[in-house]
């Protein structure tokens, strides 16, 4: 991951911790007098509870910083992706807005951190357990084929990236689906029951998709938007294939030796791309 994205993420995590600390302090100070009237120890019991919550948050934040900086998880912090998604991302977007950092930059930094965490805890999956989830805007805007319900309606004319994605679907046997929005994406996930998702989308849709589908691991690949947002977007087929090879069980591939060798190269490429 680029150093600037790491710095942005760590800066926002630190600011979120300060904000949470002040909030918890207020939760203690405000009822301080009232608690004293009930029992003299109660304010300290309440204070201890809030201090415990803050220590847990600080531990999670420290674990995240170590994970982001070193690329390795800190012992005892295996659920950090959930903490980042549920607690820190909304706070980071708010804080970023307050100090003039665009949502897009914060989300892009979050997607990179999420990908690193998914990579760090990566397992190997059978082809039928992996879902490639694509946005509708990849389809050529002049194409009349209806692909949302059946991707095989594509005539593979090559005028948009869907042809190449269908070739990857055929080659590796992974699921491929197109979603027109969050509701359809959720329906596809319920139908296909994948154990891991490789999703292509813009910063906004990827970060909300990662939040929606947690705890399913989602590896995000950003789309490219040469015609502006949501119109005839495209994606690097190389990056999608590298992601498939990173997560696919090589025993499921024909040509086992070359597949394992390719997977080894992919792991170093993925690590290199993140650093
Ligand atoms: S490859 Fe051709 S037929 Fe398939 S979705 Fe794209 S434009 Fe339509």
Last residue of a domain, one of 54, 88, 120: 120
184 lines ligand 1 (CB under 6 A): no
Measured in Å, residue 170 CA sits from the centre of ligand 1 at 16
Residue nearest atom 6 in ligand 1 by C-alpha distance: 160
Same domain, 135 and 269: yes
Same domain, 114 and 74: yes
Q: Is 155 helix (H, G, I), strand (E, B) or coil?
A: coil
Same domain, 99 and 176: no
Measured in Å, residue 240 CA sits from the centre of ligand 1 at 18
Question: What is the pTM assigned to this prediction?
Answer: 0.75
**Which pLDDT value is given to residue 217?**
92
**Which pLDDT value is given to residue 256?**
46
146 lines ligand 1 (CB under 6 A): no
Neighbour count for residue 252 (Cβ, 10 Å): 17
Into how many domains does the chain fold? 2
Measured in Å, residue 66 CA sits from the centre of ligand 1 at 44
Same domain, 74 and 166: no
230 lines ligand 1 (CB under 6 A): no
Same domain, 55 and 148: no
> Shortest CA distance to 270 belongs to which of 117, 79, 106?
117
The answer for residues whose C-beta is within 8 angstroms of residue 265's C-beta and 6 or more apart is none
Same domain, 257 and 131: yes
166 lines ligand 1 (CB under 6 A): no
Measured in Å, residue 152 CA sits from the centre of ligand 1 at 10
Give the nearest ligand 1 atom to 156 CA. 1
First to last CA, the chain: 4
Bridge-based pairing state of the strands 175-179 and 196-201: unpaired
Length of the chain: 275
Same domain, 96 and 213: no
> Shortest CA distance to 54 belongs to which of 5, 18, 82?
18
Residue 48 lies in domain: 3-120
Backbone angles phi, psi at 230, to 5 degrees: 65, 10
Same domain, 144 and 265: yes
Measured in Å, residue 142 CA sits from the centre of ligand 1 at 9
Same domain, 230 and 267: yes
Give the C-alpha separation, 184 to 187, whole Å.
Answer: 5
**Which pLDDT value is given to residue 262?**
56
Same domain, 138 and 245: yes
Give the C-alpha separation, 23 to 254, whole Å.
Answer: 56
**Which pLDDT value is given to residue 243?**
95
DSSP tag of 126:
-
Give the C-alpha separation, 5 to 68, whole Å.
Answer: 10
136 lines ligand 1 (CB under 6 A): no
Tens of pLDDT along the chain (275 residues) come to: 567 777 788 888 888 888 888 888 877 776 776 767 767 777 788 788 888 888 887 887 777 777 777 767 666 666 666 777 777 777 777 788 888 888 888 888 888 888 888 887 778 999 999 999 999 999 999 999 998 888 999 999 999 999 999 999 999 999 999 998 888 888 999 999 999 999 999 999 998 888 888 889 999 999 999 999 999 999 999 999 999 999 999 888 755 445 555 555 554 554 444 44
**Which pLDDT value is given to residue 134?**
96
- For residue 77, give both structure tokens: 């912090």
Last residue of a domain, one of 97, 120, 143: 120
Q: What is the CATH number of the domain that holds 208?
A: 3.40.50
Give the C-alpha separation, 214 to 107, whole Å.
Answer: 16
Residue nearest atom 4 in ligand 1 by C-alpha distance: 154
79 lines ligand 1 (CB under 6 A): no
Measured in Å, residue 119 CA sits from the centre of ligand 1 at 32
- 128 in Cβ contact with 175 (< 8 Å): yes
In sequence order, the β-bridge partners of residue 177 are 133
Same domain, 134 and 270: yes
- Alpha-carbon separation of residue 117 from 68, 83, 210 (angstroms): 8, 12, 12
Same domain, 95 and 186: no
Residue nearest atom 8 in ligand 1 by C-alpha distance: 143
Secondary structure of 203-220 in HEC code, one letter for each residue: HHHHHHHHHHHCCCCEEE
Last residue of a domain, one of 120, 139, 167: 120
> Shortest CA distance to 88 belongs to which of 121, 69, 113?
113
Measured in Å, residue 148 CA sits from the centre of ligand 1 at 12
């Amino acid at each position: 991951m680029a150093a600037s994205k790491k710095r942005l993420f760590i800066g926002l995590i630190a600011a979120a911790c300060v904000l949470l600390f002040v909030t918890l302090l207020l939760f203690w100070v405000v009822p301080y007098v009232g608690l004293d009237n009930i029992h003299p120890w109660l304010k300290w019991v309440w204070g201890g509870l809030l201090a415990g919550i803050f220590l847990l948050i600080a531990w999670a934040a420290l674990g995240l910083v170590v994970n982001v900086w070193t690329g390795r998880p800190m012992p005892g912090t295996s659920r950090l992706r959930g903490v980042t998604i549920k607690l820190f991302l909304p706070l980071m977007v708010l804080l970023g807005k307050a100090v003039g950092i665009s949502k897009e930059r914060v989300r892009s930094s979050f997607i990179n951190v999420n990908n690193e965490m998914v990579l760090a805890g990566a397992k190997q999956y059978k082809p039928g357990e992996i879902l490639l989830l694509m946005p509708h805007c990849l389809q050529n805007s002049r194409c009349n084929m209806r692909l949302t319900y059946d991707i095989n309606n594509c005539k593979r004319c090559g005028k948009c990236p869907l042809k190449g994605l269908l070739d990857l679907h055929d080659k590796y046997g992974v699921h491929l689906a197109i979603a027109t929005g969050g509701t359809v994406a959720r329906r596809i996930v319920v139908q296909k029951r994948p154990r891991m998702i490789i999703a292509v989308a813009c910063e906004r849709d990827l970060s909300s998709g990662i939040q929606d589908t947690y705890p399913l691991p989602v590896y995000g690949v950003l789309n490219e938007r040469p015609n502006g947002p949501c119109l005839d977007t495209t994606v690097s087929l190389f990056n999608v294939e590298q992601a498939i090879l990173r997560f696919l069980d090589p025993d499921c591939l024909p040509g086992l030796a070359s597949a394992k060798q390719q997977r080894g190269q992919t792991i170093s490429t993925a690590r290199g791309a993140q650093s």
